[in-house]
Amino acid sequence: MRLPGLVAAGLATPVVIAACFVLAVEAAEWSGRAWWDDTRPRNAAEASAFGRAADLVRLLRRGDHPEQIFPVRGGMIRESPAWLSAVEGAMWTDDGAMIRLLEREGAVLTDAKRRQLACLARDLGRQAQAGYLTQGGGTTCAAGAALAAVRARTGPS
């Protein structure tokens, strides 16, 4: 009597596992994220732009430099520039925490670089970051020029 029950369970197991797998894939797609997409940052610029502090520190300590220009995958961040530095990527986050982290990890932000980044932050509507970078002082920016310069890159410079 037990043999038919074991045979039925043995036949049903692969079907149940396959159904669970299909449901998991459907749930992932329904949530708006494809389960096969790799959303982990590939370099310091992506980690900074995503606001992923632990990944940023790991990648910087692996050898990525905060000023090095890296390729950024299309569609991963708003305005989708193709090439960014980690310091520029920090302008895409919501607060100044990534900028402060980059400074602690060795990024040297001269006054000229701070002004340039403040203009980029303003172009992105990140007033808090612009204020932090200018230390409360004003800087004159041509509207959209800093973002246009970043978008115009065609490779590492």
Q: Specify the pLDDT at position 36.
A: 60
Tokens 């074991």, located at residue: 6
pLDDT, position 24: 72
**pLDDT per position in the chain (157 positions), as tens?**
577 777 777 777 878 787 877 787 776 667 655 556 667 899 999 999 989 999 999 999 999 999 999 998 877 776 667 899 999 999 998 878 999 999 999 899 999 999 999 999 999 999 888 988 998 677 788 999 999 999 888 777 6
The per-residue pLDDT for 4 is 78
Residues 24 and 28: their CA atoms lie apart, in Å, by: 6
